[in-house]
């Protein structure tokens, strides 16, 4: 909802829209803080429009800078590819969780 600052409420829908769209997809509502912008970009969206979050921030210049950094970080995160979500923990190091004998 525009101006709500509620953030990304339905990431699955945004991913589905992005997969099916033949045009760039811009997150244009609900962005309230930098982490919201990062999440939108991590989902693979092409851009974030963040008027209210900046215009109504206590320090608009700082918020604008934070938004820019978050968009960049989110895009890099998307391009780098996240690890798969799992239902259970899985050690990423060989032998992790095993004690070595001191003798």
Model pLDDT for residues 42-82, shown as the tens digit of each residue: 999 999 998 999 999 999 999 999 999 999 999 999 999 98
Q: What is the mean pLDDT of residues 17-40?
A: 93
Report the distance separating Cα 21 and Cα 88, nearest Å: 33
| Per-residue pLDDT at 28 | 85
Q: Is the pLDDT of residue 36 over 80?
A: yes
H helix runs in the chain, sequence order: 11-20, 34-42, 51-55, 60-80
Q: Is the pLDDT of residue 100 over 70?
A: no
* Percent of all residues in the chain with a pLDDT value above 70, rounded to a whole number: 88
pTM: 0.80
Number of Cβ atoms within 10 Å of the Cβ of 14? 18
């Amino acid at each position: 909802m525009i101006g709500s600052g509620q953030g990304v409420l339905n990431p699955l829908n945004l991913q589905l829209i992005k997969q099916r769209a033949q045009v760039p997809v811009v997150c244009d509502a609900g962005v309230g803080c930098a982490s919201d912008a990062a999440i939108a970009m991590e989902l693979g969206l092409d851009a974030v429009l963040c008027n209210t979050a900046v215009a109504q921030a206590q320090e608009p210049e700082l918020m604008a800078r934070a938004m820019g950094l978050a968009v960049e970080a989110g895009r890099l995160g998307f391009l780098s590819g996240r690890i798969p979500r799992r239902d259970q923990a899985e050690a990423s190091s060989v032998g992790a969780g095993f004690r070595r004998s001191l003798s």
